Amino acid sequence: MNFIRDYIDKIIRWTEDLSDQQRRILLAVVLLAVSVVMGFVIYWVFFRGLIAPQGEQVNVNGELVDVAQLPDILANLNREGVNINESILPDIDVVARGGETFSQELYTDEAVDIVLSADGKNMQFYDPKTGQFYRINANGEVELINDKIFKGVQQVNWSNDTNKAVLQLEDGFNVMYDFERDKQYTLHEDMEEFDFSPNDNQLSYKFLPGNTDEHWLGISNIDGSGVLGIEPLGDNENLVKAKWSPSGQSIGTVEKFDGADTKKVTPIGFKGENYKAITVQGKGFDYNWSPDGKQMLYSTYSGTENYTDSLSIVDASGDAIGGNNIDLGINTSVEKCTFNSSGSSVYCAVPTETVVGSGIGPEKLYDVPHDIYKVDLNSGVSTKIATPADATSGALSKGIDQVMVTDEEDMLYYVESETGNIRRLLLK
């Protein structure tokens, strides 16, 4: 401590030798230095976290804004349960405008056979890990539908009112479960490919026992009673699809080869009606009915398209069957598409690049980003409305399946092919 005392004595003797004017200047310098140090300490402790770097700008909802303004902007955008990450955001739109658009992750475990609820707002699905059924409401909240557990469900076929479902189990059994009444019925284990009638009072299915002579396309009541054979299948069950028309006109279609790359697809009626055939070019035919059952959206693949899927629509009701067979000019499968509630438009996930053979092997598209297109079926115009991107990292979504759009067309849901995670975009 003596050296400190000696040092202070030297400073005192030095200041005694200064003139009055020099002492005043020294005092002013000391006070200024102390003020600067105290100001820095106050800033560092109390105000540093409130000041964001200026000049760095990002695109939010089409407008360039400073990073410092993001917390206030995001507070206004966090509506209806859509929470945007409050870090520095990439150049991504919150609402779909044709470019990269925030994709909100709603469910991070595997979701199987999602369906839009009858209210046109919520989503329902099965989680094979928990063996339970869930609902996602309009706020993005995940809820259990009930406390029932069904382990080993391989496929879920929902009723039109989404209050019932046929569950195909890994042990070979089939169960029709009524969620509203909490009742279940065991169906014959040789039944496959179920679909509900428009009024949900009956089921269509393929009956496929060991003997091919007993293969039939049939219908029954939802409890398995009242069985009625409609069409013998023999060993051609792969050429028949059991999909009940919303108009009730047919319970499926049968395909017949008409050349190497051409098929005749004929709707199957209940009483042996002789419906017209639809000419389809390509292989891998699959389809969905429009909401009113008057049209059929379908996809096929062929060598001329590098064995990638192409999408078409055709009239499929009454005397108009087979008319207005139009290639929509979109290379995607019908499984990646959905009608809006009126049937005037179709929303589709479309791969951003051509992958040879993806029509034969859809898993080839698992690592490929997808765009979302809206097709106006009245005008035939296709418009890219979004490229889904993660709301946190900005990474583009890859491998999109099971696209669903709400009745108000304000939100679009989809499932990631590889993970089974559910995501959604804001359309309005």
Domain map of the chain by residue range? 2-50, 55-91, 100-426
At residue 88 the predicted structure's pLDDT band, cuts being 50, 70 and 90, is very low
At residue 360 the predicted structure's pLDDT band, cuts being 50, 70 and 90, is very high
Asked if residues 233 and 210 have their Cβ atoms less than 8 Å apart, the reply is: no
**What is the pTM (predicted TM-score) of this model?**
0.78
The amino acid occupying position 358 is S
Own/partner pairs, 180-187, CB within 8 angstroms, 24+ separation = 182/146, 182/148, 185/222, 185/223, 185/224, 186/224, 187/224
Tally Cβ neighbours within 10 Å of residue 289. 22
Residue ranges in 86-164 assigned as alpha helix (H): none
Q: Which fold, 100-426? A: Methylamine Dehydrogenase; Chain H (2.130.10)
Residue 342 pLDDT exceeds 90: yes
Both tokens of 274, joined, read: 């002789």
Name the β-bridge partners of 383. 374
Q: Which of 137, 112, 109 is nearest to 123 (CA)?
A: 137
Residue ranges in 64-197 assigned as alpha helix (H): 70-77
The amino acid occupying position 8 is I
User: What pLDDT digit, counting tens, does each position of 44-64 carry?
Assistant: 544 444 444 444 444 444 444
User: What pLDDT digit, counting tens, does each position of 362-392 carry?
Assistant: 999 999 999 999 999 999 899 999 999 987 7
Asked if residues 426 and 83 have their Cβ atoms less than 8 Å apart, the reply is: no
Within 13 Å and on the Cβ side, how many CA atoms surround 416?
24
